[in-house]
């Protein structure tokens, strides 16, 4: 099952899911659900740096399959068998 993490900075916050994400995984990551003004969707985020989030996801069996930068946003795509 694929998962994407977004970070606007190298230190956080890190977006870890959308409104349809697995609630138990979001709880494990310590994520908070929010709706940003002007957006018509909800997102989960943590204040942790991406490396901390990626380490937690690795402990759950997720592996990074790609990473890219879009402006000042960094995007990691992960997969769990």
42, burial (CB in 10 Å: exposed 0-12, middle 13-18, buried 19+): middle
Average of per-residue pLDDT across 55-59: 95
Sorted by where each starts, the structural domains of the chain and their CATH numbers stand as: 1-78 (3.30.1410.10)
Is the pLDDT assigned to residue 11 strictly greater than 80? Answer: no
Give the SS3 label for residue 56: helix
What pTM was computed for the model?
Answer: 0.80
Position 47 scores a pLDDT of: 93
Confidence of residue 31 (pLDDT cuts 50, 70, 90): very high
Length of the chain: 81
Is the pLDDT assigned to residue 58 strictly greater than 90? Answer: yes
């Amino acid at each position: 099952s694929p998962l994407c993490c977004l970070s606007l900075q190298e230190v956080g916050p890190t977006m870890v899911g959308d409104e349809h994400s697995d609630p138990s995984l979001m709880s494990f990551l310590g994520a908070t659900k929010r709706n940003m003004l002007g957006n018509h969707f909800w997102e989960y985020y943590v204040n942790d740096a991406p490396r901390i989030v990626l380490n937690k996801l690795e402990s759950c069996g997720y592996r990074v399959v790609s990473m890219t930068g879009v402006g000042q946003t960094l995007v990691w795509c992960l997969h769990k068998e």
